[in-house]
Amino acid sequence: MIQLDEKIYFYYLAVIPVLVVIFVLLQLWKNRTQRKFASGNLFRRLTPDRSSFKSTLKLLFFLFGLAFLIVALVNPKMGTKLETVKREGVDIVFALDVSKSMLAEDIAPNRLEKAKRIISEIISELASDRVGIIAYAGQAYPQLPITTDYGAAKMFLQGMNTDMLTSQGTAINEAIELATTYYDDEEQTNRVLFVISDGEDHSEGTTIDAVEQATEEGIKTYTIGVGNTKGAPIPLKRNGIVESLKKDSQGEVVITKLNEEVLVEIAEEGEGEYINGANTEEAVEYIKEQLSQLDRKEFEAKQIADFKDQFQWFLGAGLLFLFLDIFLLDRKTKWLRKLNLFNEKSIE
């Protein structure tokens, strides 16, 4: 089994036919010039040591050397053995609140950006766990199914905002119900759900029922609170500039507060814990510790080939041919002349 690292260098091989064409044209020009200077027999007598084959042989050495060096740049690798790699981990789903209240700036830069940073930092600490993402406001929508592609998870995460869902409100129950459909492995014993929110809940008491159902299905629910219990208004911006503050039906400015009681109740019912997300580093470190205590289940095993670099052989061959090209003379040498390898008879 062969693997090529940098296939783009193969384009450099196109220079070889160009060099051959230049060499042929150069030889034709030389022969034409020599015929103008003297006839063939006379020219051979005047230059008895001139070899008509050495220049071609030197070109071949040079081209072989160049070709081998280009292949060395490609860095071919050869698979020497197959190894079975087992992956063990926990299935983790993040349910992120993207309602308008998450725009409050009582925690810098705002609640939503803080929540996204916490999730991103948690993902960075994972090794072989699988992750999924849900966005919810008045309704819950899947964003990313369970995957081990952390790069994709972070990309989807950064694109989430409060305008992505038209239905406003905070229906935590729908996010939890949707999360139960994410875990596609019935044998997975460690299923974790993180609800990241400011705690505002408009689901009219059905959230606890959803948590109980999730717990029965083996899902451990953690909650992460973002915001401040003192509260803050919700700025409405356009192009990064605050145009107004969100107001209620009576025209009063809405003050949204972190509701830790709701989040604590959800975590307790879900056999998890509530984590205050005010300090990102402390929250992530605590979550990392909690996840490390969970048993890992083997959910994926792959056979991969162990590849080893082979460029050194091509590099050595390339340098050898270039060395021969440099030290091979255009004229005949005495010992080669005696061997007459190229059927070049001496002109007496």
Q: Which residue has the tokens 């440099």?
A: 326
Q: Which domains does the chain have, with CATH numbers?
A: 2-75+310-339 (no CATH), 86-301 (3.40.50.410)
pLDDT for the residue numbered 204 = 61
| pTM for this prediction | 0.63
User: Can you give the pLDDT of all 348 residues of the chain as single tens digits?
Assistant: 677 778 888 888 898 899 889 988 887 887 777 666 666 565 556 555 555 667 788 888 889 989 999 998 988 887 666 666 666 788 999 999 999 999 999 998 999 999 999 999 999 999 888 899 999 998 899 999 988 899 999 999 999 998 888 777 778 999 999 999 988 766 666 899 999 999 887 776 789 999 999 999 989 999 999 999 999 999 988 877 878 888 888 888 989 999 999 999 999 999 999 999 999 999 999 999 999 888 776 665 555 566 778 888 889 998 998 888 787 766 555 544 555 554 555 444
H helix and E strand count, the chain: 11, 13
pLDDT for the residue numbered 86 = 67
Find the helix or strand (DSSP H, E) in which 280 lies.
helix 280-292
pLDDT for the residue numbered 348 = 43
CA Rg value for the chain: 36
Tell me the three state secondary structure of residue 142: strand
What span, in angstroms and rounded, lies between the C-alpha atoms of 119 and 154? 9
pLDDT for the residue numbered 85 = 61
Residue partners of 340: CB distance under 8 A and separation at least 6: none
pLDDT for the residue numbered 49 = 56
